[in-house]
Structure 1
Amino acid sequence: MVDTTASVSKNNTLPQLKNSQLHTGVLLVQLGTPDSPSVSDVRKYLREFLMDGRVIDYPYIPRFLLVNGIITTFRAPKSAKVYQKLWTKRGSPLKYYSEDVVQLLQQQLGDGYKVVLGMRYQNPSIKSALENLKDSGLEKIIVIPLFPQYASATSGSVHQKVMELIQDWQIIPSLHFISYFLDHPKFIEAFAEIGKRYMQEDTYEHYVFSYHGLPERQIRKGDASGTTCLIGDCCATWHAGNKQCYRAQCFETTRRLATALGIPQDKYTVCFQSRLGKEVWVQPYTEDVVKDLAKRNIKKVLAFSPAFVADCLETTIEVGEEYKELFEEHGGEHWQLVESLNTHPLWIDLLTDLVKKQN
């Protein structure tokens, strides 16, 4: 694995800042992770995650019955086994990389800023993170969901939760929400830098850019005009009509990365993973692409997961291991995952830019 980590302070503690020095709070929000890989903690996490009306956008009662009566009952034991494979001595990679990013960003921003971490689901919660900022006499709070592309089920859910929690504060600081950052040059530069190291070590015949999937229904709901989404080659360009569309943003991310890496269009494929249930999700599906590449006698594939900024179950296990096994089962020989940004120095620079542009 390529080492892309930046330096984290040995004592892993934030600088102690006096309230009089502070004027800006920075809330970084990740999706979340179980507190442990036990079945009970995984079930608790899945229940909170899947009961979010922006994740499964069914009416409450059908959603409750589906999540609590079917999904978590059968999925939690299976998911717990996968989390056990992912877990390290430091715990969940998504959590500890996010904690490291908070440390590094605080160090880089310096006095005048207070950086905290919240998980949309489980711990540390967004509520606890906001309470940490509440009594600091802040002039503004910048909320950065750590998702490169906007989706209602991710960044939209974070924005909604923050507004719900902060609405009863007597003094509400100026709030600034970051919706996406796929178009930030340092995001492309950082992922390209990691990818190039693998490309220098080996020759790959094809490149896969796999993104977390969403139901087609949710994608269409984001098209207020009803005239653009999933009609023809709607994501071939990124324009005013699809600027906030998750699928269009994924294709735009890939085009920018392919350009930075010098990959011709016929040598890469955009696809979507992690389907749940029988409903139609955005396509093409990654598992179908993997099988097709192997059947086409493609032997070496380099895989990217540019919807994630920290290694997690969906990258390390799903893309890195499960799709590797699927590729090899159908005749492929070498499947290599490009790890996430984690604590890459350019990633910290990107977050610093996002914060300072709001001041």
Structure 2
Amino acid sequence: MSKNTAKIGVLLVNLGTPDSTATGDVRKYLREFLMDGRVIDIPFIPRWMLVNLIIAPFRAPKSAKEYRKLWTDRGSPLMFHTEDLTAKLKEKLDPKKYHVEMAMRYQSPSIADGLKALNKGNVKKIIVLPLFPQYASATNGSVIDKVMEEARKWQIIPNLSFVTNFVEHPLFLEAWEELGREYIARENYDMFVFSYHGLPERQIKKGSVDGYCQLSDKCCANYTKKNQFCYRSQCFFTTRLIAERLQLPQEKVKTCFQSRLGNDPWIKPYTEDLIKEMAAEGVKKVLVFSPAFVADCLETTVEVGEEYKEEFIELGGKAWDLVPSLNANDTWVECVKSIVEQES
């Protein structure tokens, strides 16, 4: 009896980035990103009007300037770090067993193109790994949604496997520990801040099982089967796990949320509010982690690394150091390899 030698397909998916820093390309990216019903979860017509008549036209020029601050000769850091991760993963996995592709949820390379390449390779299974450690409908959920949208067009659909989160993976935690220790060895910090991308509170509540969500620190302090897919709970859990590995004093560890958009209430505490509180309390030296991001991007390099630093220093702080994202860190590559092998 002949053995099936078909490969297992692996699709790594990150958020996405404009094709360039030109205002037109940034506007195009914003429109695709914000028109996703899982990102701005309001009915289509008001969402279309909000995005196309207000946000994209007015925000694109400002965002283009922000993107120019982090663009390099290789282009967008989020893009080339994901490319480097993919290249290293290909070297680690057996090429006779795995076919690896990368994609972006928005813009290029698209999920459709990534899946097409895997399908063309006649893979027997596809493992989809959204590169977002904590599950959220607007990130992991959106990737899964898009993959299913594309796959249902096929006559033959291979076995599909989705990784919904990996906050507890020991190598993910070890990678952050390695990066954090490099900074801790050089400086005596007063506070350790873990800043995650924020979400509207309504999205957290919509995903609550049987209305369980309390949006409280007491609830999120315990990671249970009832709140295992609560994004806020997962973020607090991630902080605890990394802080434990680094043996950080509990009273010196803070979890907060950044990148608010609009006037609706988002999950708290807000990073900008925490900065003011720390400055008022006389905190001078802060080390910042952004464990919701595995590749440096606008939200890490510019928002946390530059804008928040400037605000903290203006308020009397002396040091605001940002631990870089995992990018193509070797331990992180081993983590992705381990996740893929576990799903195989």
TM-score (norm 2): 0.97
Partner Cα distance (1:232, 1:183) in 2: 20
Give the equivalent residue in structure 1 for 2:58: 74
The answer to whether the 8 A contact 2:212-2:226 is kept is no
The letter for the 1-side match of 2:65 is: K
Matches within 5 A, 1:237-276: 237-276=222-261
The answer to whether the 8 A contact 2:103-2:110 is kept is yes
Sequence identity percentage: 57
Out of 310, 314, 327, the residue aligned to residue 295 of structure 2 is 310
Partner Cα distance (2:287, 2:17) in 1: 27
Distance change in 2, residues 1:232/1:345 (3 Å): closer
Give the equivalent residue in structure 1 for 2:93: 109
Q: Superposition RMSD on alpha carbons, in Å?
A: 1.0
Q: Tell me the CA shift for residue 21 of structure 1.
A: 5.5
Q: Tell me the CA shift for residue 268 of structure 1.
A: 1.0
Find out whether 1:92 has 2:76 as its counterpart: yes
Partner Cα distance (1:121, 1:216) in 2: 24
Out of 2, 12, 19, the residue aligned to residue 35 of structure 1 is 19
The answer to whether the 8 A contact 2:204-2:213 is kept is no
The answer to whether the 8 A contact 1:223-1:229 is kept is no
Give the equivalent residue in structure 2 for 1:233: 218
Find out whether 1:298 has 2:283 as its counterpart: yes
The answer to whether the 8 A contact 1:219-1:229 is kept is no
Matches within 5 A, 1:1-359: 22-111=6-95, 112-231=97-216, 233-359=218-344
Partner Cα distance (2:213, 2:296) in 1: 33
Give SS of 2:10's match: strand
The letter for the 1-side match of 2:10 is: V
The answer to whether the 8 A contact 1:229-1:242 is kept is no
Q: Residues 284-318 of structure 1, C-alpha deviation per residue, up to 9 Å, x if partnerless? A: 00011011111111000000000000010000000
Q: Residues 27-57 of structure 1, C-alpha deviation per residue, up to 9 Å, x if partnerless? A: 0000000000110000000000000000000
Distance change in 2, residues 1:266/1:50 (3 Å): same
TM-score (norm 1): 0.93
Q: Tell me the CA shift for residue 224 of structure 1.
A: 2.4
- Paired residues in the alignment total 340
Q: Residues 85-132 of structure 1, C-alpha deviation per residue, up to 9 Å, x if partnerless? A: 110000000000101111110110022111101100001000111111
Partner Cα distance (2:214, 2:339) in 1: 29
The answer to whether the 8 A contact 1:208-1:301 is kept is yes
Q: Residues 49-87 of structure 1, C-alpha deviation per residue, up to 9 Å, x if partnerless? A: 000000000000000000011111111000000000110
Unaligned runs of 5+ in 2: none
The answer to whether the 8 A contact 1:22-1:114 is kept is no
The letter for the 1-side match of 2:135 is: Y
The letter for the 1-side match of 2:233 is: A
Partner Cα distance (2:132, 2:229) in 1: 13
Q: Tell me the CA shift for residue 231 of structure 1.
A: 4.7
Give SS of 1:143's match: strand
